[in-house]
Amino acid sequence: MYLFSVIDIAARIQTDELMTTPHLRFETLIERYHDEIFRYLWRMLQDSPHEPQDVTQETFMRAYQAFGRLRPDSNHRAWLYKIATNCAYSVLRRSQRENSLDDLEIMDGQPAPDQQVIELETLQAATRIIQRLPVKQRAAVIMRHLEGCDYTEIAHVLDCSEDSARANVSQAIRRLRRELQNESGEA
C-alpha cells in the first residue's frame, strides 16, 4: 500500500513549481494517460484485480519522482509506458505464475449464446497464450494491438530497435495463431 494516491500526487503537484514544465504539467499526464496505462498493466498482469491498480500507482509515483528531469520535448506517452513496463517486469519476475481471464463479461445484444461461448473460449485461450509469451513479446503485442502504440513507441519502451519491436509483435502473433490452432484442433 502506498502513502499517496494518484489524486494526492496531482494535488501536491499544483503547489510544486519544480514539477511544472512550460508545455505539460504532471497533473495533465495523469488525466491523459492514467486509464490507458491501467488497461495496459491490467492486460500484462492479470493475476489479481488489485495488482494492476498497485502497479499503476507505482508507475505514476516513479513518474512523479522523475518528472522534473524529463525534457519538455520528450514523448510523454512512451516515457510512461516504459516506466509501466519496468514496473510490470518487476512484478512478473517476483511471481512467475499462470494467469487467466476471470472478469470477462458477456454483454447483452451480442451474438447468440452458443457463439458467445465460442468467442469466450477463444478469448480465454488467447489470454492464456498471451500470458505464456516471453515478456517482451507480450508487452509488444499488447501495446501494438490492444493499446494502439506505434512501433517507435514500442521500441522506446522495450529498449530495442523498431525492427526488433516489429519482430517481437510478429513472433507473438505467429505463436498466438499457432497455439490457437493447436488448441482448436485438440477440442
Residues 109-158 have pLDDT tens digits of: 555 555 555 666 666 777 788 888 888 998 998 889 888 889 999 999 89
More confident residue, 181 or 84: 84
Beta-bridge mates of residue 20: 25
Contacts of 71 (CB under 8 A, 6+ apart): none
pLDDT (tens digit, 9 = 90+) per residue, 48-92? 666 888 999 999 999 999 888 888 788 889 999 999 998 988 888
Q: Is 37 exposed, middle or buried (0-12, 13-18, 19+ CB in 10 A)?
A: buried
Q: Do domains 1-97 and 109-187 have the same CATH topology?
A: no
Residue type at 12 in one-letter notation: R
- Residue spans of the domains in the chain: they are 1-97, 109-187
- What is the H or E stretch that residue 95 is in? none
How far are the Cα atoms of 5, 25, 57, 140 from residue 2, in angstroms, in the given order?
7, 22, 8, 28
Q: Does residue 169 have a pLDDT over 90?
A: yes
CA–CA separation, 169 and 97 (whole Å): 23
The CATH number of 109-187, from 3.20.20.140, 3.90.1170.30, 3.40.50.150, 1.10.10.10, is 1.10.10.10
As a whole number of angstroms, the longest Cα–Cα distance in the chain is: 61
Instruction: Please say whether the beta carbons of 45 and 88 come within 8 A.
Output: yes
The CATH number of 1-97, from 1.10.10.60, 1.10.260.40, 3.20.20.10, 1.10.1740.10, is 1.10.1740.10
Give the pLDDT of residue 8: 53
Residue type at 93 in one-letter notation: R
